[in-house]
Amino acid sequence: MKHNHGIRMGFHKLPIIFAAAIALAMSVMAAGPASASTWGPHSWKVQVGSESWDQEIQGMAFLPSNITVNEGDTINWQANSAEIHTVTFLAKGQSLDSLLPFNPGVPDELLKRGGASYDGHSYYNSGLLANVSVPGFPVAKSYSLMFPQEGDFTYWCLVHGMVMKGTVHVQERGSAYPHTQADYDRSSKVQERAILRDGHQLDASLARQANNHLVLTGTDDSISMVMRFVQPTVRVHVGDTVVFSNPGMGEPHTVTFGTEPANIFGPSGDPAHFSGGNLSSGIIPANAGPHSKFAVTFTAAGTFKYVCALHDYMGMVGKVIVVA
């Protein structure tokens, strides 16, 4: 353990030095974490996820994804998107694969586990984090952990598995910090912009593929997700079939007409003869060949609205206009 001797000595030397030490300490506290030295435990902020203003583009990153703190410091993870994420430290010997893919039916993945101080080797989970309330899921807006011991600790978002990872480097108490919170915030802003660019490029590629008989259910890569049907409005004739296709790598969606069923994960209704009422695809998984498609044949004229039951609260809705 190191101590800040400059300040320590002030307490029992000349009153002038004492006063100077207090002034220094106050300026350090006012400025937040300094790169040179520390005085008492600090609190740090990590953003969980990112999004476009209209929630169309969702990012899969902890910002910053790597942070260096000292023993005794606290990290506060703050939900920064409508999409759900978790902050999850695995137990020693526990494999990430055993928890993937994310299963909303497993309470351990949905709920907060572990205490307020990270012990370095047990399963800790924030539960679901989001910056809005999410229908059907318990969510929190933030999660805090104090790190009492040195080490490098990796954590994951269980919802976005292999692609969303963060690391906390905990140094000896009193060490100099390599970066300030302001440094992290600046680089996070740059990364957020890159994520949005990536998402808009994905969106543009969907727009090039879609037509009145092929709707893409959004998409995702390892950086961002598009939470929109492309195109959201299509026009077809009675007897036509519209294929809803998920071209993504990981994110599931649904196509749900009428009232959402109690179990949104399983299919219901008859997609071969749809003339209105209730019809739901169940999960349309990404990256599953023919299972990544849901075909609906419309047997009556009308305007049929549908939603993605997982992402409708972000604006993921569409309609099929069927004419005679």
Interface residue with Cu ion, options 308, 318, 320, 322 (CB under 5 A):
308
Which one, 56 or 73, has the nearer CB to Cu ion? 56
Q: How far apart are CA 313 and CA 137, in angstroms?
A: 12
The residue count for binding Cu ion (CB under 5 A) is 5
* Strand residues in 53-189 grouped as ranges (E): 57-63, 66-70, 73-79, 88-89, 112-113, 124-126, 142-147, 151-156, 165-171
Provide, rounded to whole angstroms, the least separation between the CB of residue 291 and Cu ion: 16
Q: Which residues contact 194 (CB under 8 A, 6 or more apart)?
A: 223
Contact region for Cu ion (CB under 5 A) — 65-73, 123-131, 169-177, 309-317? 309-317
**CA dist., res. 180 & res. 307, Å (int):** 43
Q: Which of residues 114-133 bind Cu ion (CB under 5 A)?
A: none
Number of helical H runs and strand E runs in the chain: 4, 20
State the nearest-atom distance from the C-beta of 29 to Cu ion, in Å.
Answer: 45
Q: Which is nearer to Cu ion, 68 or 246 (CB)?
A: 246
- Calpha distance 86→111 (Å, rounded): 9
**Using rule CB under 5 A, residue 311 touches Cu ion:** yes
Q: Closest separation between CB of residue 197 and Cu ion, Å?
A: 21
Nearer to Cu ion, 102 or 143 (CB): 102
CB atoms within 10 A of CB 96: 14
Which one of the spans 56-64, 199-207, 262-270, 302-310 is the region binding Cu ion (CB under 5 A)?
Answer: 302-310
User: Least distance to Cu ion from the beta carbon of 307, Å?
Assistant: 9
Please enumerate in sequence order all residues whose Cβ is within 8 A of that of 186, keeping only pairs 6 or more positions apart, or say none. none
Pattern 228-257, Cu ion, x by CB under 5 A: -------------------------x----
* Residue 158 Rama label (left phi>0; alpha psi -120 to 50; beta): alpha
Contact residue for Cu ion among 286, 310, 320, 322 (CB under 5 A): 310
CB of 310 to Cu ion, least distance (A): 5
Nearer to Cu ion, 83 or 198 (CB): 83
Check whether the bond before 209 is cis (ω within 30° of 0): no
Near Cu ion in 178-207, by CB under 5 A = none
Q: Which is nearer to Cu ion, 85 or 253 (CB)?
A: 253
Cβ nearer to Cu ion, comparing 179 with 319: 319
3-state secondary structure of 196: helix
Least distance from Cu ion to the Cβ atom of residue 81, Å: 14
In whole angstroms, how far apart are CA 161 and each of 5, 108, 256, 314? 45, 15, 26, 21
296 within 8 A of 322, measured Cβ to Cβ: no
Residues that bind Cu ion (CB under 5 A): 253, 308, 310-311, 316
